[in-house]
Amino acid sequence: MKVFFSGYYMVFRLNWFYFGITLGMCEYGYYGKCYNQCLTNCKSCYSDSCVCLLCKSGYVGQYCTETCRKGMWGEQCKNYCSPNCDSNKRCNVTTGDCLGDCRAGFYGPKCETKCKIGTWGKNCLSNCSPNCDSNQSCDILTGDCLGACKAGYLGPQCQALCPPGLYGLDCQDNCSENCLHPCDSTDGHCSPCRPGYEGESCQKAVPLRRKEETSNSFNFVHFGIGVASLAVAVAIVFGILVLRRSLLRRRRKRVCNIYNQPDVISSDMNQYVNNQNQSELEEHPYQN
């Protein structure tokens, strides 16, 4: 037989050979006559009342009805939320996970993990500039390169190209004055060069003999172009004259054929011939 009291129970055992009494406490999470459950946020309570002995994570108070104050979490609210939580350092009172984004430079549920090399910013979603010279490493908060910029770039994040006329590390080198156009901001190479200079950076003077050869070659090319142009013009004029003479010859032959016709030519035909001759005289008044 089992008899319940407030917070405990007694079991009586009786048979022909044995009589015994067993005293026990209520099961964990129960109180009173051992069938009343402790309050929701209690992990355990007194066996004879609903007063909590230990609250679940995130709650405090006699009956575990109060949540942790701002910035605290865990059992008995002893833990501080991560300072890297961006939402005024607020976190879940039970797990400690941040209730918003992480501050720049951190990621993870509790925002306790620093950005990996090459990333920065909120939740580490931004990439460091590829122009950072220190293995693309940058400040996890600002994104500024942690070392010098690669050749040809400048600025905190090494995003700006060297100004025209400068190149190299920190843009400290001047482009050659023999470059016709601004040089490459990385290595100073340029093309084309001013006359008389050659090389990747236009700093090597062309030898005098080569200058003369280049000049002669240039003049020869221009002379050849001039001769070719003149020849084409002469050919066109000659072709026009030949064509014109051929047309005149055909007209005269046609007139001769008309005069060689028998005397039966009508007066209308004579009139046609006279008109044709008059037309030719008007077209070529100065031709013999």
Q: What pLDDT, on the 0 to 100 scale, is given for residue 121?
A: 93
Which region holds residue 23: left if phi is over 0, alpha if psi is between -120 and 50, else beta? beta
Percent helix, percent strand, percent coil in the chain, to nearest 5: 25, 25, 50
Task: Identify any residues that bridge with 22 across adjacent strands, giving them in sequence order.
Answer: 11
pLDDT in tens, the chain (288 residues): 444 444 444 444 555 555 555 555 667 677 666 667 888 888 887 777 778 888 999 999 998 989 999 999 999 999 999 999 987 778 999 999 999 889 999 999 999 999 999 999 988 999 999 999 877 789 999 999 998 899 999 999 999 999 999 999 999 999 999 888 889 999 999 888 989 888 888 888 888 655 455 455 545 556 667 778 888 887 887 778 878 777 777 776 665 655 555 544 445 555 555 555 555 555 555 444
Amino acid at 18: Y
- What is the Cα 268 distance to its own chain's centre? 90
Rounded to 5 degrees, φ, ψ at 94 are -95, -45
